[in-house]
């Protein structure tokens, strides 16, 4: 069942989302060759708790850490480790959830570690562009399929692929709510968007196959051919004034 949020709840989620955005800005300053994914996780958790919030992911379905950190061919749900040091030329997806005053926000970015190839940078740029194409469709009267189609069209026009079984979702009182928001689909299909819906829109893309595998840790999802993956995500509210990105730095404002 879709849960619509009141204006007050959306403002709380905007504060939560700002903390999430600030957390990833902090992570961005720390990403470099040699840093461990555990160090990134610890820094993020300290920051979130210092703001009076909690990391949403820690303990969620049994997940042991505060961030999901996924490197190169890892798509999502990578577990931070003190044994995992970042290497020059890699890309690292960092996904964070923040719980504040009873409401969650969800945000992800993929970072370059040092200097990366032109092809890797293009994958990151296209995925981020697809995110904003999807956000632009989060308008009253549209359907979830309009978001999905915009993402798929942007990614596939650039020669990359989107995964079918990994999707965005509603977010708010729970980290994962209805509706699902696939990264592929047809316009005017799926649930109609209503004022007060809050969605985690998150294109997850591949430079190779769109087939996936789950590693023996039962969390980390990778591309089946070990091709590079990327992941960007915003929490977005559907408002009468258009889509409002809630996971922004500084003053939270409607999306352009």
pLDDT digits (tens, 9 = 90+) for 51-63: 999 999 999 999 9
Please compute the mean of the pLDDT values over residues 150-169 and round it to a whole number. Answer: 98
pLDDT grade for 250, boundaries at 50, 70 and 90: confident
Provide φ and ψ at 184, rounded to 5°.
-150, 155
Distance CA 207, CA 213 (A): 15
- pLDDT higher than threshold 90 for residue 255: no
For the chain, percent of residues with pLDDT exceeding 70: 98
Tell if the pTM clears 0.85, that is, is over it: yes
The residue among 37, 48, 50, 49 whose CA lies nearest residue 111 is 37
- pLDDT higher than threshold 90 for residue 119: yes
What are the residue boundaries of the structural domains of the chain, listed by start?
Answer: 7-245
The tens digit of pLDDT for each residue in 164-185 reads 999 999 999 999 999 999 999 9
pLDDT of 3: 95
- pLDDT higher than threshold 90 for residue 252: no
pLDDT of 254: 37
The tokens for 147 are 């978001």
| CATH T-level fold of 7-245 | Creatine Amidinohydrolase (3.90.230)
């Amino acid at each position: 069942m879709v849960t619509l949020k009141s204006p007050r709840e959306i403002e709380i989620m905007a504060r939560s989302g700002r903390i999430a955005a600030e957390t990833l800005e902090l992570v961005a300053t720390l990403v470099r060759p040699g840093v461990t994914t555990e160090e990134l996780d610890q820094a993020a958790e300290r920051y979130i708790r210092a703001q009076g919030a909690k990391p949403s992911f820690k303990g969620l379905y049994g997940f042991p850490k505060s961030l999901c950190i996924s490197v190169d061919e890892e798509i999502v749900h990578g577990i931070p480790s003190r044994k995992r040091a970042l290497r020059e030329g890699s890309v690292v997806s960092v996904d964070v959830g923040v719980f504040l005053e009873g409401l969650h926000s969800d945000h992800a970015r993929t970072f370059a570690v040092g200097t990366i190839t032109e092809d890797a940078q293009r994958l990151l740029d296209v995925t981020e562009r697809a995110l904003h194409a999807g956000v632009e469709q989060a308008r009253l009267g549209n359907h979830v399929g309009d978001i999905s189609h915009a993402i798929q069209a942007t990614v596939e026009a650039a020669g990359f692929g989107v995964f079918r079984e990994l999707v965005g979702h509603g977010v708010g009182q729970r980290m994962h709510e209805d509706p699902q928001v696939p990264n592929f689909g047809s316009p005017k299909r799926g649930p109609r968007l209503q004022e007060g819906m809050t969605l985690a829109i998150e294109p997850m893309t591949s430079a190779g196959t769109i087939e996936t595998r789950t590693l023996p840790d039962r969390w980390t999802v990778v591309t089946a051919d070990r091709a590079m993956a990327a992941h960007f995500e915003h929490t977005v509210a559907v408002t009468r004034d258009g889509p409002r990105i809630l996971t922004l730095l500084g003053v939270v404002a409607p999306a352009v």
